[in-house]
Structures are given as structure tokens and as C-alpha cells.
Chain A
Amino acid sequence: MLDETPLFFENSGQKLFGVIHKPDNLNINKAIVFCHAFAEEKLWSHRVYVSLARSLVKLGYLVMRFDYRGYGDSEGDFSSCSITSYKSDIQCAVEYLRNEYSGLTEIGLFGHRLGASIAVNIKDEININGPIILWDPITDGDRYMQEFLRSHLSTQLAIYNEIRETRDQLVEKLEQGEMINVEGYDLSIQQFESITNFNLINITSTLSSKCLIVQTGRNEKPKKDIKLLSDSLGAELLVVKEEPFWREIKQFYFEAKNMNSVTLEWISENYG
């Protein structure tokens, strides 16, 4: 039986839900905190996270997965979320681990899509010294939000057989202080702007720990923005084939086999 414990911890008076995956070893000295993706991408990729966590445990890592406020089983409303609240929640999860497991000498971060972007953005603020693993990081928040709004248009088409509100009109609504509902999520101007203004293209940070970026693609060619990010971080960049499991596809994605495999191999080589 796996050693996995569900728990609640607090940030700013609100409870956050998390799961600790414990390895067999008696002296646990290394851990990785998982930072999840945005909105429904988080749910579609949930089992992939669980599978990666279970694989990392076999390498001796303690893994902590948790839900940001406004997500999963944590308290809070999605409409109140922002990049700031996501960062604060990650910081809180890392602090929780440091307090609960005093033997930890190495803490790393793993993130997927927007979770990866936030992880790399916060690493210096919380003194991350373990591996930083970024799967398909979002480098351009503006473009990402435009894509998110596009799914609102798809819903309109499906329901009304026509587009009743364009993306510009939706943004206008947001600017007027109205909430807009995308895929069941109430998006506020606060969250929309915080992600729109968030980009990793010009990041200049140098890392105190090693970083791996895994990009999915049909061929081995890295995307320009990911290559730029990788260069500026001094990270290793690997491109693997994988279906876009963070949205609805035909396959049931129990695990991202190729991403898992290169990640575990890289960790073993660099932190073994």
C-alpha cells in the first residue's frame, strides 16, 4: 500500500488541501512540491500528476501535491485568484513542508503549463535548492488568456450556434468590472490582468539549482519561446512526443509516459 496522506494546511485563514506522498526511506531529506495548471487543465492533468508523484517517491523523494485556493478541495473562490495568490499558496506549501519535515535539505518544484511558469517565477523568493522541472511552461500570459477566452466562443457556438460576444467584447466586460464565465470558471479582471501581464520571455534569472524543461511536440524541434526561456535559465531542454492531456482528447491519460521517463532519468543523473 502506498504511503499517501491527505491533509489541510492554512494560508491567510483559508484551508488548502494537499496530499503528501512519502518514500520508504527512513531519512527523508529531499522533497518536490507540485504546482498545478490553470482552471480545467488542472483537472484533466490530475492523474498524470499523481502518477509522476508516485514515480518520484520511488526515487526517494517526498512529494507534496496541493490545490491552490479556489481549486479542488481548497477553500476560496476561483474569482479571487491571481498570480499573486498562486505564488503565495506555493510559498505556503513549501513552508509547511519545511516545518513538518525538519530533515529536508533539498526542496524542488515541479509545474505544468501555468503551474510551471509560476514555479520558475517564485523559485528565488522561496530559496528553492532542489530540481526545478517545468513541463510545457506558458511563456506568454497574454496569448494564453486569449486562448482561454476562445473556449468561451466555442461554448457560445455550441449553445447558440453563433458567436454572440467576441473576445474584445468579453474583455470590455471584464474591464467594466463584470465577471465572465469560461468553462464554468468565473474570471475576474484581477486574474485576467495578472496572467495577461505575466510572461517569462524576458526572464533574466539565473538558477541556484538545476532546471529541466520538457516540451511536448510532434518533432524534436523546440518552440522558439521555450528555447529562449531555456537559454535564459541555463536549463536543459528536452522535446518529447505526448498528446495534449491537459484538455479533452480521445485517450485516457493515466500518465505522461515520455515526459515521466525523461524527467526521472534527468533527476537520477543530476540529483541521484
Chain B
Amino acid sequence: MTDSVSAIRFENKDGNMLFGILEKPDKAIDRSIGVLLLSPGIKMRVAPHQLYNKMSKKLTSLGFTVFRFDFYGLGDSEGIVDEKLLADLYGSIQIGRYVDDTKCAIDWLSSQCYLEKFILAGLCGGAVTGLLEARTDDRVIGLLGLGIPVILDGSNVDSSKYLTTGQMDRLHQGYINRLFSIKSWLRLLSFQSDFKVIFKILKSKLYKQNESKTEKVKNAPVDNTNPFFAEAMFDCMDRQCKVLYIFSGSDRLAWEYEEKFEKIYQERLNGYGNIYKSVTIDEANHILTMPKWQNEMLDLSEQWLNLHFNTIPSVNNDEVA
């Protein structure tokens, strides 16, 4: 860590003091673009296993100014979160709870660091917040999302009802593997297993053909998809905001994204050319715990950043706060 790292406090529009860490690149390689790493749920500005610190290091080495901060009520920031359950907190984030805080952070960076262009990056809830903010903010020129959820969470949501085909296939394989495990049978017989999920998977396998026919006929429109997601995506891309979404192969969010958004809008997405890209890292889990997955994510991000934001290094940066 050098003097280019500083602890920052700034106010959000409700007067809560928010905490953040600002990291600046060497002047010689400064691209004059700010990257905001938006907090994923409650894991604050460092993210699980310091994932954001690792991203900051890479991004500053590429010439970006990086700002990681805590939303109100989380991390070190002021404010209260009233939700008692994580699912409800996540649900509120997915419909824009922290969009105003993100806007305040961009305003702060604009006024204090004289930056005009921004890339919003984040894992999970951080990625959704970025998307919803970018929809109406022309200063945002890129979105780098990791494991972005396309659905809405909430304590009133029965997740077993909305299992995707990918999830069901994986769970089905898991149950088969556990058929000969005494522990698994004990769990089942002591009613610790999720019978709703097991039933749904068995049903889907037994009646696969019939069910798919029924679904086609019914074309059931009611699901748990975030109603703001698709609109926000197309609004952003219509104004040429570049999008890279990276998913993890072992993460249900990857299947949900594919089945509830990408497949549905495939044709329309194709029309955006290289403005839109989504990739999946094989085997990786949601929070990218293994170094090889982290490195792959960082490499993919670097390629994308170099493709779209390879601006001429600015040397006249004396005014930067």
C-alpha cells in the first residue's frame, strides 16, 4: 500500500456518513476513468475473502482509479437496515436500495478527483446496483458484473418453485451420488432434507416430457425474475454502455441468468455486438474462492477493459485531490 490509498468519508443524500477506500494509479498510466467496486450484500467494501482488494490491485495497475465504499447501514457506514432477514435485504438491493448511495459516490469522485467517466463493477448485489444506477446515469460507460442475479430474493419467495433446469440437473446428480451415503439417508429420515426440492426434482425427471409440453401450452409468465432487469440492461446498452458479465459454472445464478434472461433475449442481445459479453468460468463457485478462478476473472476483466477503455494515458493530473 502506498500513499495513493486513502480512507474516505462522504455523505449520502440522507446525511449518513459513508466510509470508503480510494486507490489511485500511478500518474504515468492513469486512464482518467473511475471504477467503483460496489459492495456485495453485507460483505462490505472488501467483499468475501478480500476479493475487492485483489480487484483493486489489478485495476489500479491498469491505470484506473478505484473506489470501494460501504452502503448505508453496512460495513463501517452510518445508517440503519431494518430488514431482519438476509433474503429481504438482498431483495431490496435487487430493486435499487443502494442506487442513491452509488450516485452520491460518483458525485463525490467527480468533484474530488475530477473524473467524468465511470465503470461500475461488483459481485452479486453490487452488480445489480451498478446496472440500476447505470440505466439513468450517462457518466457510467461500463458495467463489470460478477454473478449478477436476475431474480428477486425475499423471505416470501419459495425458491424451490423457481428452480431452473440447470439447478435441477445438478441437484438430481447430487441426490444420485448420495444414494449410498448413510449420512444422507439419516438426514432424509430425520426430516432435515428439503422435501419440496426433492419432490420437484423427482417430478421433473419422471414427467419431463409431459411437463415441458404443459409449460409450452401454459407459457406460465409468473416467475421470480427481477422486473427491472431486462429494461435496465437494454437502456444501458442502447446508450452504448459496455457490459461484461462473468458467471461461475457452479453457481445457480449462472443458470438463472441463462434461462431467465439470456435465452429469452438472445436475438436482441446479438444485435449489440461487442457492447455486450457474458462468460462463465468453469466449475467456479459464486464467490470465486479458488485463486485460479479469481485469476481467470481478472484476466477476462483486463481483456475487456483494454478492448473498450484503452484511453491515452493522462499525464496532466496535478489537480487530482
A residues 1-31 touching B (CB-CB < 8 Å): 1-2, 4, 6-8, 14-15, 17, 19
For B1, what are the chain A residues with a Cβ–Cβ distance below 8 Å? 8, 14-15, 75
Is there a chain B Cβ closer than 8 Å to A233's Cβ?
Answer: no
Question: Which among B39-47, B103-111, B268-276 touches the partner chain?
Answer: B39-47
B43 and A252 within 8 A (CB): no
Is there a chain A Cβ closer than 8 Å to B288's Cβ?
Answer: yes
**Chain B 27-58 near chain A by CB (<8 Å), digits 1 or 0:** 00000000000000011111011110100000
Nearest neighbor of A249 in chain B, beta-carbon distance: B86
A7 and B86 within 8 A (CB): no
A6 and B9 within 8 A (CB): yes
Number of contacting residues on B, CB 8 A?
Answer: 45
Q: Binding site of A, secondary structure by majority: helix, strand, loop or mixed?
A: mixed
Most central of B17, B50, B74, B283 by chain A CB within 10 Å: B50
| Least CB distance, A266 to chain B, in whole angstroms | 25
Question: Which among B75-83, B156-164, B189-197 touches the partner chain?
Answer: B75-83
Cα A186 to Cα B291 in complex, Å, equals 9
B86 and A72 within 8 A (CB): no
B291 and A4 within 8 A (CB): no
For A252, what are the chain B residues with a Cβ–Cβ distance below 8 Å? 42, 81, 83-86, 88-89
**Chain A 228-246 near chain B by CB (<8 Å), digits 1 or 0:** 0000000000000000000
B43 and A43 within 8 A (CB): yes
Is there a chain B Cβ closer than 8 Å to A161's Cβ?
Answer: yes
| Least CB distance, B69 to chain A, in whole angstroms | 11
Is there a chain A Cβ closer than 8 Å to B113's Cβ?
Answer: no
B residues 239-260 touching A (CB-CB < 8 Å): 250
Contact pick for A73, options B42, B53, B74, B85, CB 8 Å: B53
A159 and B76 within 8 A (CB): no
Contact pick for A2, options B17, B49, B285, B287, CB 8 Å: B17
For A17, what are the chain B residues with a Cβ–Cβ distance below 8 Å? 7, 21
Known: A40-B48, A252-B86. A159 touches B285 (CB 8 A): yes
Is there a chain B Cβ closer than 8 Å to A272's Cβ?
Answer: no
Cα A50 to Cα B81 in complex, Å, equals 13
| Least CB distance, A79 to chain B, in whole angstroms | 11
Cα A254 to Cα B50 in complex, Å, equals 21
Nearest neighbor of B249 in chain A, beta-carbon distance: A159
B76 and A155 within 8 A (CB): no
Contact pick for B51, options A15, A19, A184, CB 8 Å: A184
Is there a chain A Cβ closer than 8 Å to B87's Cβ?
Answer: yes
A residues 69-120 touching B (CB-CB < 8 Å): 71-73, 75, 78
A19 and B85 within 8 A (CB): no
A161 and B177 within 8 A (CB): yes
For A46, what are the chain B residues with a Cβ–Cβ distance below 8 Å? 42, 44, 75
B285 and A158 within 8 A (CB): yes
For A271, what are the chain B residues with a Cβ–Cβ distance below 8 Å? none
| Least CB distance, A191 to chain B, in whole angstroms | 14
Nearest neighbor of A160 in chain B, beta-carbon distance: B283
For A6, what are the chain B residues with a Cβ–Cβ distance below 8 Å? 7-9, 19, 76
For B49, what are the chain A residues with a Cβ–Cβ distance below 8 Å? 39-40, 183-185
Is there a chain A Cβ closer than 8 Å to B219's Cβ?
Answer: no
Nearest neighbor of A162 in chain B, beta-carbon distance: B177
Is there a chain A Cβ closer than 8 Å to B303's Cβ?
Answer: no
**Chain B 85-123 near chain A by CB (<8 Å), digits 1 or 0:** 111110000000000000000000000000000000000
Most central of B17, B76, B89 by chain A CB within 10 Å: B76
Cα A161 to Cα B171 in complex, Å, equals 9
B80 and A254 within 8 A (CB): yes
| Least CB distance, A155 to chain B, in whole angstroms | 6
Nearest neighbor of B86 in chain A, beta-carbon distance: A252
Cα A44 to Cα B177 in complex, Å, equals 32
| Least CB distance, B16 to chain A, in whole angstroms | 9
For B306, what are the chain A residues with a Cβ–Cβ distance below 8 Å? none
| Least CB distance, A78 to chain B, in whole angstroms | 8
For B9, what are the chain A residues with a Cβ–Cβ distance below 8 Å? 4, 6
Is there a chain B Cβ closer than 8 Å to A251's Cβ?
Answer: yes
Interface set of B (CB-CB < 8 Å, partner A): 1, 5, 7-9, 15, 17, 19, 21, 42-46, 48-51, 53, 73-76, 78, 80-81, 83-89, 170, 173-174, 177, 250, 283, 285, 287-291
**Top 6 A-B pairs ranked by shortest CB distance?**
A184-B49, A6-B7, A184-B289, A75-B1, A15-B1, A252-B86
A-B contact pairs, 5 of them (CB 8 A): A17-B7, A43-B48, A73-B7, A159-B250, A250-B85
